[in-house]
Amino acid sequence: MDGLLILYTGGTIGMVPGPLGLAPGAGVLEAALTRMLPQDLPVAIERFDPLLDSADVGPADWNRMLDRIERWTGQGVIVVHGTDTMAFTGAALSSALGEPRGPVVLCGSMVPLGQGGDAEANLALALHAARTAAPGVWLAFAGKVMPGAGLVKHDSHGADAFRSSPQQPFNPPARRFADRRLAVLTLTPGIPAAAVRAMLAELDGAVLRVFGAGTMMADAALQSVLADAVARGCRLRAVSQCEAGGVVPAAYAAGAGLWAAGVESGGAETPELALARLWLALS
């Protein structure tokens, strides 16, 4: 069929003030779409029940989105989503969809619809992008249409909340996220090796946010922890704590312990993208 599919998962864009803070409001998004949609554009609106705060979105929800997107035969798809984990969902959909037939456009806002903020403009931009953008996963936000793979939410309040860093192409066959135990762990000065060992003991894999271009502290105990984890089959992938530039193995002697332990390089991947790709590799 022609037209657009709008998957409404939740998020600030459709919320209203309540006694405990912002919460989903009945019909808020649907009413806005009725006002904004061209009369000749057929649209199917499907909502998650219950609607999700994006803090609760995870691999099972990504799989649900992937299933519906892949069944859609229309012009494009808009995924209405909260901003807190938007970068994770952008990375997940970009990594698992394979080669989508049309544009898949993420959309959300920092201020709900009807409150004089960014919601209306972001939604209008998403409607335009879903009909005109190239096939792929995108975010329509703050006047920009950005690739979904390398998203970073860098501002928790400002309207221009997202940036997207360039990423290496990744076009495997369409996949789904299996039930695995993964996390993003940050190395910090003085972190106890025993604490890292305890965390890794509970995981099938982890993304390690390391220093700069790929360095870590000269801690023999910590290096042993990483090597032991890899030896038992725990996949470890290193990315930089810097927002741009990425890691470069062998750039510094201070990173030699990482690569000797069997830690993989994530290059310029964001932590969100590295997590999605590692998850798929273990699925």
Name the domain boundary from 164, 198, 226: 164
| pLDDT over 90, % of the chain | 88
The mean pLDDT of the chain is: 95
Angle at alpha carbon of residue 262, lines to 261 and 268, rounded to 5°: 115
Least confident of 168-172, 174-178, 229-233, 251-255: 168-172
- pTM for the model stands at 0.95
Q: Give the pLDDT confidence score for residue 242 in this predicted structure.
A: 96
Residues 146 and 270 in one domain: no
154-184 pLDDT, tens per residue? 999 999 999 999 998 887 788 999 999 999 9
Within this chain, do residues 142 and 210 fall inside the same structural domain, yes or no?
no
**174 falls within a domain:** no
In a domain, 175, yes or no: no
Same domain, 33 and 126: yes
75 and 213 fall within a common domain: no
Instruction: Flag the least confident range among 72-86, 92-106, 159-173, 231-245.
Output: 159-173
Same domain, 139 and 192: no
Are residue 141 and residue 261 in the same domain, yes or no?
Answer: no
CATH of the domain at 227: 3.40.50.40
CATH of the domain at 153: 3.40.50.1170
Tell me how far apart the alpha carbons of residues 78 and 123 are, in angstroms, rounded to a whole number: 9
Share of the chain above pLDDT 70, in %: 100
Q: Are 44 and 3 in contact (CB under 8 A)?
A: yes
Counting the structural domains of the chain, the total is 2
Specify whether 11 is located in the same domain as 39: yes
User: Looking at the domain assignment, is residue 172 inside a domain?
Assistant: no
pLDDT of residue 23: 85
Q: pLDDT tens digits for 24-78?
A: 888 899 999 999 998 888 999 999 999 999 999 999 999 999 999 999 999 999 9
Q: What is the pLDDT of residues 256-267, one digit of tens each?
A: 999 999 999 999
- Residue 233 inside a domain? The answer is yes
In a domain, 169, yes or no: no
Between the alpha carbon of residue 225 and those of residues 214, 219, 222, 258, the distances in Å are 17, 10, 5, 11
Q: What is the mean pLDDT of residues 136-160?
A: 97
pLDDT at 206 over 70: yes
153 and 15 assigned to the same domain: yes
Shared-domain flag, residues 217 and 261? yes
Same domain, 146 and 93: yes
Whether residue 241 is contained in a domain is answered as yes
User: Are residues 8 and 140 both part of a single domain?
Assistant: yes
Q: Per the domain annotation, does 230 fall within a domain?
A: yes
Which of 110, 138, 164 lies at the terminal end of a domain, its last residue? 164
Residues facing residue 184 across a β-bridge: 207
Residue 156 shares a structural domain with residue 214: no
Q: Looking at the domain assignment, is residue 123 inside a domain? A: yes
Range of the domain at 270: 182-281
**Listed range (19-28, 183-192, 195-204, 205-214) with the worst mean pLDDT:** 19-28
Query: What whole-number distance in Å separates Cα of residue 190 and Cα of residue 219?
Result: 9
The string of DSSP codes covering the chain is: --SEEEEE---GGGEEEETTEEEE-TTHHHHHHHHHS-TT--EEEEE-SS---GGG--HHHHHHHHHHHHH--SSEEEEE--STTHHHHHHHHHHHS-S-SSEEEEE--SS-TTTTSSHHHHHHHHHHHHHHSPSEEEEEETTEEEESTTEEE--SSSSS-EEE-------PSP----S--EEEEE--TT--HHHHHHHHTT-SEEEEEEBTTTB----HHHHHHHHHHHHTT-EEEEEESSSSS---TTS-GGGHHHHHTTPEE-TT--HHHHHHHHHHHT-
